[in-house]
Amino acid sequence: MELTSRQKEIVGVSIALIADHGIQNLTIKNIAAAIGVTEPAIYRHFENKFEIMNAVLDSFQKIALDVLDSEEVAGQDSLGRIERFISDRYRRCVENPKLAKLMFSEENFQFDERLSRKVLKIMHSHKEKIHGIIVEGQNACEIRRDVEPTSLFRIVFGAMRLLIKQWILSGFAFNLEEEGKKLWEAEHKMIKYCDCCTLCCK
């Protein structure tokens, strides 16, 4: 469902409140105060805090998967598609550090079992997409085949998540996109097809 401009504003303020002050400070009262409206005005757009957090997750899921479905990525080989996804994730984190701080701290969603399940579902949907690209790359001899796809996924995306977490915990003290590029260059060397893979690709 497409959010209205007011709903988007509420979602944005909610993200900032959690990032700056913690999930315990996300209340309808605080959201209303930050926007400069009454509490009933917030309830006209969302029934409760759960609906707001659910909208946050919906927005994040759409943003995260759009890049993999874009025409710009469709014509690339498997490694190019993975690189595009990763670099897009770093870029979006830099553009919206408060959202990154929220989405890479899964404990923010543990207060509600429905939200926890949704976070897990989003993570699985990302894994399925990237896992499929890795398998395609292995079949095309673009990605090494002597390591199973799930392990390759964990190597690449576990490292990405760790780098983003370090960036957040450092108070955004280093250039995430530059460090992400260095990390991908190292990962690319590790997972790409090479002469040692010749036998398994015959």
- 3-class SS string, 61-122: HHHHHHHHHCHHHHCCCHHHHHHHHHHHHHHHHHHCHHHHHHHCCHHHHCCCHHHHHHHHHH
In the chain, the number of structural domains is: 1
Residue 35 lies in a domain: no
Residue 162 lies in a domain: yes
Mean per-residue pLDDT for 13-26? 88
Neighbours of 158 (CB within 10 A): 11
**At residue 83, does pLDDT exceed 70?**
yes
Residue 96 lies in a domain: yes
Residue 14 lies in a domain: no
Residue 34 lies in a domain: no
CB 124 within 8 A of CB 137: no
Instruction: Provide the pLDDT for residue 135.
Output: 96
Residue matched to tokens 């944005």 = 12
**At residue 151, does pLDDT exceed 80?**
yes
Q: Which amino acid type is present at position 40?
A: P
CATH assignment at residue 156: 1.10.357.10
Domain that holds residue 130: 58-201
Residue 62 lies in a domain: yes
Q: How far apart are CA 42 and CA 33, in angstroms?
A: 10
Residue 37 lies in a domain: no
Q: Give the pLDDT band (50/70/90) at residue 196.
A: low
Q: Can you read off the two tokens belonging to residue 148?
A: 């199973």
Residue 174 lies in a domain: yes
CB 85 within 8 A of CB 68: yes
- Straight-line distance from the first to the last Cα atom of the chain, in angstroms, rounded to the nearest whole number: 48
